[in-house]
A and B are shown apart, each in its own frame.
Chain A
Amino acid sequence: MKFAVLQFPGSNCDQDCVHVLRSVFGYPTRLLWHKEYSVGDADAVIIPGGFSYGDYLRTGSIARFSPVMGAVKEFADNGGLVLGICNGFQILCEAGLLPGALIRNRSLQFRCEHVYLQVASHNSPFTGQIPEDKNLRIPIAHGEGNYFCDDETLQSLEDNDQVLFQYVDAEGDLTDHANPNGSRANIAGICNEKRNVGGMMPHPERASEAILGGDDGRLIFQSLITALKNQPTLA
């Protein structure tokens, strides 16, 4: 099982993702520069956080036109697993691989803190191994994580069980106060209708070892790994 982690000018969580997949989980993982035209033999692609192209124009808007994103789109269209984290989520929305958009936090503040997430759907390659009733404590670090979509899109996300994570408070209650950025329906992460492309604002790669103050993020990578192992095409 091999992973590819994309690297754009301005990515800054790429090495963290490589560290977790390679050193914590022990899988071959390589960085894929934005000028590549193929994802090679990767079984899953991670689009990491950061500030690709300086967040110019809109977050993710320039990265989505890079050569590697053409390859990622083709990979995703063929059923390949793609997870976008933070800026990666923004890029996937800009690329049209996920619905909606991420706009400026309603507080106008860059929020860098631990949040609690409830798993809204366990039926995905990104959440399958998270125990029922387990809320995750994972950090966020973003200025533009306010998930927006129109009413119709929100309805279809809910109807198709595409909401993966929602911000809750420490008691597990879904409140407006627990919403760090103003996202519609407290949405912190979603997947596409085919369920092979996921995006989330919180950073599981920053919470995958106990020494970092929590390892709830491991469950997301573990879900991905288990989903890949169960894919019939993989040995």
Chain B
Amino acid sequence: MKAKVIITPKRAVLDPQGKTVQTALEHMGCSGVSDVRIGKYIEIEMDGDRETVEAKLSEYADKFLANPNIEDYRLVFED
């Protein structure tokens, strides 16, 4: 099974990369951009059924893949 871990900075955390890209978009003439957040994307291939993989990845995302002080994450699954 393929799992995707999508990690984004928490709302309260300053995201200087996002801000810089937002400004660049505006300078390029792309109007209407109200926010840009830059995070991380991890693809993981893992054996097991969906429930097992989800339980295991949640555990490791909480303690390793994402830092709960500064990041949120969500898991997306593909069969």
Contact = CB atoms under 8 A, between A and B. Distances in A.
Contacts of A65: 64
Contacts of A99: 69
Contact of A148 (B13, B20, B65): B13
Given A65-B64, A108-B20, A146 B14 contact: yes
A182 B9 CA distance: 16
Question: SS class of chain A's interface: helix, strand, loop or mixed?
Answer: loop
B64 A61 contact: yes
A149 B69 contact: yes
B37 to A, nearest CB: 13
B16 A182 contact: yes
A103 B64 contact: no
Interface string A135-158: 000000000001011100000000
A151 to B, nearest CB: 8
Interface string B34-66: 000000100000000000000000000000110
B70 interface: yes
B14 A182 contact: yes
Given A57-B65, A61-B64, A65-B64, A103 B17 contact: no
B69 A101 contact: yes
Chain A: interface residue count, which band? 20 to 34
A119 to B, nearest CB: 25
Contacts of A100: 69
Nearest to A150: B12
Contacts of A58: 67
A99 B68 CA distance: 11
A229 to B, nearest CB: 35
A107 interface: yes
B66 to A, nearest CB: 9
Nearest to A60: B67
A35 interface: no
13 contacts: A58-B67, A94-B67, A103-B9, A103-B70, A104-B16, A104-B17, A105-B16, A108-B16, A108-B20, A146-B14, A148-B13, A150-B69, A182-B14
Interface of A: 57-58, 61, 65, 93-94, 99-101, 103-108, 146, 148-150, 182
Interface of B: 9, 12-14, 16-17, 20, 40, 64-65, 67, 69-70
